[in-house]
Structure 1
């Protein structure tokens, strides 16, 4: 989801070097698996916003973490663990309540993976306590720790969908 792939491919093309892009598993999905969560859940969050945190690279105002926070959907934030204080400040200013669940996954799928859960109120200290400053992803929203797991219509016997006719 985030990287320097286009820069690297441009240079390889310029130099006439053949290459092949082999898809892998994104930290977006591996972090969700490490947290044991779905990024969308019925009645909780129907959308996922993928954003990058930055202090030095200009971000269009409407795409800032502050502006995107108004949606209150699941937000997955790349490249921002080193500025987590600013990220949390913007999320709170943007409208997320301070008790909003947050998951941080450091080195997702690596042997030294760390999974930290908290809220916007305490996640900064938890990240500092675990000495995480790089190579981590931040997942924000109720899906990280849903108050109640609602059953979807998919398994409701009375619900008709493409795989079965619902009972009356």
Structure 2
């Protein structure tokens, strides 16, 4: 899927402990189809999840107006055009600057990622893989993770 290809191209994790543990795949409401009230951009933004907004670059003004009240103007944004294609292009910005950062010829196949996890600095790493994390099926001190290596 394009959201995974975009995250790989950016070299970022879309979820980070204590910050955002969910990713929402959605689109902005347009002329063709209304979004159910519970699935609008503001409704999803209220959760604090990382948003992957498809097919909506032409609605960037609407998108930023709806998201800034929830994430703030300095929230990181990445627009990945033609993710995983040879001519892929990446534009990093904030909600306040994304319109100016993305050339007008970028359209349709652009994916917009929004959320604080895109900053990827100053956050703690997942405890799930920490050596001192006590797992239900492999408590600390039993059965090395990699047999024969001692770790």
- TM-score in terms of structure 1 length: 0.77
Comparing 156-165 with 39-48, greater Cα deviation is found at 156-165
- Asked if the contact 2:79–2:112 (Cα under 8 Å) also holds between the matched residues in 1, the reply is yes
Give the C-alpha shift of residue 67 in structure 1.
Answer: 2.0
Higher relative contact order (CA 8 A, sep 6+): 2
Q: Which has the higher helix share?
A: 1
Partner of 2:147: none
Give the number of aligned pairs: 140
Which stretches in structure 1 are left out of the alignment for 5+ residues? 1-25
Query: Could you say what the CA RMSD is over the residues aligned between the two structures, in angstroms?
Result: 1.6
- Structure 2 gap ranges (5+): 142-151
What displacement does 1:147 show? Answer: 3.4
State how far apart, in whole Å, the 2-side matches of 1:98 and 1:72 are.
14
TM-score by length of 2: 0.85
Distance across 1 between alignment mates of 2:137 and 2:92: 37
Question: What pairs up with 1:114-129 in 2 under 5 angstroms?
Answer: 114-128=89-103
Residue-by-residue CA offset, 1:49-80 (whole Å, 9 max, x unaligned):
11112321211122111222111111110110
